[in-house]
Amino acid sequence: MVKTIKTKRLPKDPGPAGWNEIYKDKSSFPALDTDIEVDWVIVGGGFAGLGAAKRLLQLLGSKERIAVIEARGIAQGPAGRNSGFMLDLPHELNSDTYAGSKEQDLRQIRLNREAITMAESIAQQYGMDKALFSRSGKITASATDRGYRSIETYARHLTALGEPYELLGADDLHSLLGTEFYRKGLRTARTAMIQPAGYIHSAYKGLVSEGVQVYECSPVVEMTLNDDVHTLICANGVVRAKNVIMAVNGHIQSFGFFKQSLLHIFTYSSMTRALKNHELKALGGIENWGVLPADPMGSTIRKISDHAGSGHRIVVRNHATLNQSMEASEGNLKDAARLQDRSFARRFPMLKGVDMEYRWGGRLCLTYNSVPAFGEIENRVWSACCQNGLGTVKGMLSGMMAVDKAVLGDTELLNEFLIYQAPKRLPPEPFLSVGANATLKWKEWLSGIEL
């Protein structure tokens, strides 16, 4: 049976990915300008694409030909736009409304750690330094009563899960972070922190050294699925492949799959210019740190150390909008910029006058019931999509799991991963967008100065 799918939409990412702009050791990859034949083609060069390609190499070695096709530049999409927290612990633990089950959380932690171990072995094998990947842990911190309560709940859940943590007071936070903004915090040790664009560039460069063909700026605009060989048409070339892994996150919907099930959320970041020596001195604190807000709608902040001349900088992430069109507007970016400037001024009065050099937004894909868009969606076409926010880890995991499913069929890890329901159907428009954006705004307002 032959089925032709025309891609309805191609990815558009607002603003320059700051992490990619400051990364000096960028590799460029060719665009596909000819016809190629491979055994496996992976569509999407983010974390899911990486997890899939690496797992294929692990399971099949150089026996089979593998290609990755990316629409944009490698690390210009969400993979190079995120805040770089590779979280091992379930994120929702720090919400007021936490209602998870212990067994489910322990399973998720095991799976997350498999993915982080994979990310770490990629970093080691391809010679990345600590600025690109490190197990530096993370701090969840707060400056409001509401946030303190979340930290207490978080601590109780971690105790119940048998996970170690360290509580931090205002003085600890001041000496670690420089800022006096935060009053209470909680540190866990096993989160990995990455320079997302640097990590992704180095990882894909490493894949090429192992024989994987990586093409960037080559959007797949049409697919013809066939009984024996699938054909993918890109802007200037064609891929024929026996097996296809779709690692396009929310854009799986642009190929006609998982209709009415995917929420397309944009979130936004600003990155300062490189700080001058006297500014760094005025700030104080340790070289490199990452803080997640105790209130999920608050600001994520990172201080990054100089890497190959990119400078010490502060990165602020906050604000979320639902854009079912899969495009963010100029107005969205302006709103985010205003909120981020306010957040920066509150936390870093000693850095008054330091401008933001880069501002950008990026897409996340969520389902109503927080399950992935995963599985064999057509004969020998697997989806490793929709990571429900924490895609540096869950993307890597779903790419690995798609390959395990395709090549091995049944493994212990896969059986753990596959315990979830189908994605729930979304309410119709315009109710969905109006309701969701109003709720997001309300929650941002509730988060107070945490934002």
Ligand X SMILES: Cc1cc2nc3c(=O)[nH]c(=O)nc-3n(C[C@H](O)[C@H](O)[C@H](O)COP(=O)(O)OP(=O)(O)OC[C@H]3O[C@@H](n4cnc5c(N)ncnc54)[C@H](O)[C@@H]3O)c2cc1C
Minimum CB separation of residue 383 from ligand X in Å reads 10
For residues 298 and 340, what is the distance between their CA atoms, to the nearest angstrom?
10
- For ligand X, which is the closer residue by CB, 183 or 394? 394
Minimum CB separation of residue 433 from ligand X in Å reads 19
For position 387 contacting ligand X by CB under 6 A, the verdict is: yes
Strand, coil or helix: what is 329?
coil
Residue 430 preceded by cis peptide, ω within 30: yes
Q: What are phi and psi of 376, to 5 degrees?
A: -85, 105
For residues 280 and 276, what is the distance between their CA atoms, to the nearest angstrom?
6
Tokens 């990859």, located at residue: 29
Question: In this structure, what token pair is assigned to residue 426?
Answer: 């979304």
- For ligand X, which is the closer residue by CB, 74 or 186? 74
For position 112 contacting ligand X by CB under 6 A, the verdict is: no
For position 348 contacting ligand X by CB under 6 A, the verdict is: no
For position 67 contacting ligand X by CB under 6 A, the verdict is: no
For position 213 contacting ligand X by CB under 6 A, the verdict is: no
Site string for ligand X, 310-339 (x = CB under 6 A): -------x----------------------
Judged by CB under 6 A, the residue of 393, 402, 436, 451 near ligand X is 393
For position 395 contacting ligand X by CB under 6 A, the verdict is: yes
> Contact 93/154 with Cβ under 8 angstroms?
yes
Judged by CB under 6 A, the residue of 40, 56, 82, 144 near ligand X is 82
- For ligand X, which is the closer residue by CB, 280 or 314? 314
Judged by CB under 6 A, the residue of 22, 52, 168, 220 near ligand X is 220
Stretch that binds ligand X, among 80-88, 130-138, 174-182, 303-311 (CB under 6 A): 80-88
Q: Which of residues 264-283 bind ligand X (CB under 6 A)?
A: 267, 269
How does DSSP assign 129-146, residue by residue?
Answer: -TTTEE---EEEEESSHH
Minimum CB separation of residue 29 from ligand X in Å reads 12
Minimum CB separation of residue 302 from ligand X in Å reads 9
List all residues 6 or more positions away from 384 whose beta carbon is below 8 Å from its beta carbon.
48, 51, 52, 245, 246, 247, 372, 374, 395, 398, 399, 401, 402
Strand, coil or helix: what is 24?
coil
Minimum CB separation of residue 77 from ligand X in Å reads 3
Residue nearest to ligand X (CB): 391
For residues 53 and 399, what is the distance between their CA atoms, to the nearest angstrom?
8
For position 206 contacting ligand X by CB under 6 A, the verdict is: no
For position 392 contacting ligand X by CB under 6 A, the verdict is: yes
> Contact 449/442 with Cβ under 8 angstroms?
no
- Residue 281's alpha-carbon distances to 99, 277, 293, 312, 390, in angstroms, are 43, 6, 25, 11, 33
Judged by CB under 6 A, the residue of 293, 298, 391, 423 near ligand X is 391
Per-residue three-class SS string for 72-108: CCCCCCHHHCCCCEECCCCHHHHCCCCCCCHHHHHHH
For position 70 contacting ligand X by CB under 6 A, the verdict is: yes
Judged by CB under 6 A, the residue of 44, 178, 185, 372 near ligand X is 44
For residues 51 and 48, what is the distance between their CA atoms, to the nearest angstrom?
5
For position 246 contacting ligand X by CB under 6 A, the verdict is: no
Stretch that binds ligand X, among 39-47, 111-119, 150-158, 201-209 (CB under 6 A): 39-47
> Contact 255/57 with Cβ under 8 angstroms?
no
For position 47 contacting ligand X by CB under 6 A, the verdict is: yes
- For ligand X, which is the closer residue by CB, 348 or 358? 358
**Of 208, 401, 199, 196, which Cα lies nearest the Cα of 302?**
196
Minimum CB separation of residue 276 from ligand X in Å reads 26
Minimum CB separation of residue 435 from ligand X in Å reads 22
Minimum CB separation of residue 47 from ligand X in Å reads 4
For residues 74 and 70, what is the distance between their CA atoms, to the nearest angstrom?
7
Minimum CB separation of residue 362 from ligand X in Å reads 2
CA 51, 55, 58, 60: dihedral to nearest 10 degrees? -140
- For ligand X, which is the closer residue by CB, 7 or 195? 7
- For ligand X, which is the closer residue by CB, 213 or 280? 213
> Contact 406/67 with Cβ under 8 angstroms?
no
Strand, coil or helix: what is 234?
strand
Query: To which H or E segment does residue 330 belong?
Result: helix 330-347
Angle between helices 391-403 and 102-125 (to 10 degrees): 80
Stretch that binds ligand X, among 27-35, 134-142, 243-251, 406-414 (CB under 6 A): 243-251
**Of 216, 196, 218, 212, which Cα lies nearest the Cα of 27?**
216
DSSP 127: T
* Site residues, ligand X (CB under 6 A): 7, 10-11, 43-49, 69-72, 77-79, 81-85, 219-220, 247-249, 251, 267, 269, 317, 362, 364, 387, 389-393, 395
